[in-house]
């Protein structure tokens, strides 16, 4: 695993970024967290403040000067910063584009200027759009369905062109529905798993958009962190790669909800009687999503470490631990 390097993690105060920082510090790296705290929180990184190898810079990836300053002397950049959520991008495409595209190009430019060894960034399964085959392979995309998906595909194209033009090594890890501890359950754009756990703990019915048969390749956050660590040291000839990171299996939302109900009922038996409600599907949502992870296994030697059921159990236990 990567060790004794100077690393910048953008969006490090967010859900995935904070998990990545924790793993990097455990491997004796010097880590700088760069975040504007728009969607991230200092609560997610306060456990690192006492570590002399950790530093936090509050700043914005939309400011090129700030990007240039934080990457000086850096070996690897992990770019996790983005304004997520398909529904939010439909409501506010301008801010989503400013952060996800201009911010990405700023960080990529700063990394190129500083001569970083690798630029590893968070891509998204949304870039597969309405592709109606399964499992999804990296070189077959469909029509994009949201401004968010457009921004993430733009990232992939910019990374590819920067690698070809400037010789910087870029690796896009295409995440599929990541979940786990420290994921925010609040707000209109909260991800389904933390939101459902929070509702069930309050004895409220979670609402599923659609009939519940739609499925996703839900991926526990430890698997994503593991892939990021592997990407820092994996050897392959190309300067740019786009690689699916998932479990390589899918689960429908009704079954997923039942997993949460069953686990939460171990702590509160009344939750076992709660059932989800169903409503109309949302614009921009796809019916089914499952990833091929053959390329990740071949290039990174990646195999998912935690199953969806194990991940749900761990996530529920974490929420219980912080809300006793």
CATH class of 6-181+218-247+290-305: alpha beta
At what angle are helices 147-166 and 103-114 packed, to 10 degrees? Answer: 20
Ranges of each domain in the chain: 6-181+218-247+290-305
Whole-model pTM over 0.85: yes
Distance of CA 148 to the CA centre of its chain: 13
| Sheet with 6-10, edge to edge strand ranges | 54-58, 30-35, 6-10, 76-79, 118-124, 170-175, 240-245
Each of the 324 residues of the chain gets a pLDDT tens digit; together they read 899 999 999 999 999 999 999 999 999 999 999 999 999 999 999 999 999 999 999 999 999 999 999 999 999 999 999 998 888 899 999 999 999 999 999 999 999 999 999 999 999 999 999 898 889 999 999 999 999 999 999 999 999 999 999 999 999 999 999 999 999 887 665 688 999 999 999 999 999 988 999 899 999 999 999 999 999 999 999 999 999 999 999 999 999 999 999 999 999 999 999 999 999 887 767 778 899 999 999 999 999 999 999 999 999 999 999 876
Where helices occur in the chain by DSSP H, the ranges are 15-26, 64-70, 86-91, 93-97, 103-114, 147-166, 192-201, 221-233, 253-265, 294-300, 308-322
């Amino acid at each position: 695993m990567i060790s004794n390097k100077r690393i910048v993690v953008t969006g490090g105060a967010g859900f995935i970024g904070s998990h990545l920082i924790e793993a990097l510090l455990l491997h004796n790296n010097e880590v700088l967290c760069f975040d504007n705290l728009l969607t991230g929180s200092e609560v997610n990184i306060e456990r690192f403040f006492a570590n002399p190898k950790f530093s936090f810079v509050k700043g914005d990836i939309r400011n090129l000067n700030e990007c240039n300053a934080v990457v000086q002397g850096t070996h690897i950049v992990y770019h996790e910063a983005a304004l997520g959520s398909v529904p939010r991008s439909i409501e506010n495409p301008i801010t989503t584009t400013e952060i996800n595209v201009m911010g990405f190009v700023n960080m990529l430019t700063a990394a190129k200027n500083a001569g970083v060894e690798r630029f590893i960034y968070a891509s998204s399964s949304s870039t597969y759009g309405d592709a109606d085959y399964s499992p999804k392979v990296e070189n077959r995309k469909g029509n994009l369905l949201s401004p968010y998906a457009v921004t993430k595909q733009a990232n992939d194209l910019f990374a590819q062109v920067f690698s070809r033009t400037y010789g910087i090594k870029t690796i896009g890890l295409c995440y599929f529905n990541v979940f786990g501890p420290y994921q925010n359950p609040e707000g209109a754009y909260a991800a389904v798993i933390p939101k459902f756990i929070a509702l069930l703990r309050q004895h409220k019915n979670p609402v599923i958009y659609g009939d519940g048969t739609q499925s996703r390749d839900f991926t526990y956050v430890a698997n994503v962190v593991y892939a990021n660590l592997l990407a820092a040291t994996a050897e392959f000839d190309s300067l740019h790669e786009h690689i699916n990171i998932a479990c390589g299996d899918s689960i429908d939302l009704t079954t997923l909800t039942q997993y949460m109900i069953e686990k939460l009922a171990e702590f509160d038996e009344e939750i076992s009687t709660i059932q989800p409600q169903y409503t109309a599907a949302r614009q921009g949502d796809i019916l089914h999503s499952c990833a091929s992870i053959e390329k990740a296994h071949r290039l990174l030697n990646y195999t998912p470490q935690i199953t969806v059921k194990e991940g749900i159990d761990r996530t529920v236990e974490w929420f219980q631990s912080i809300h006793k």
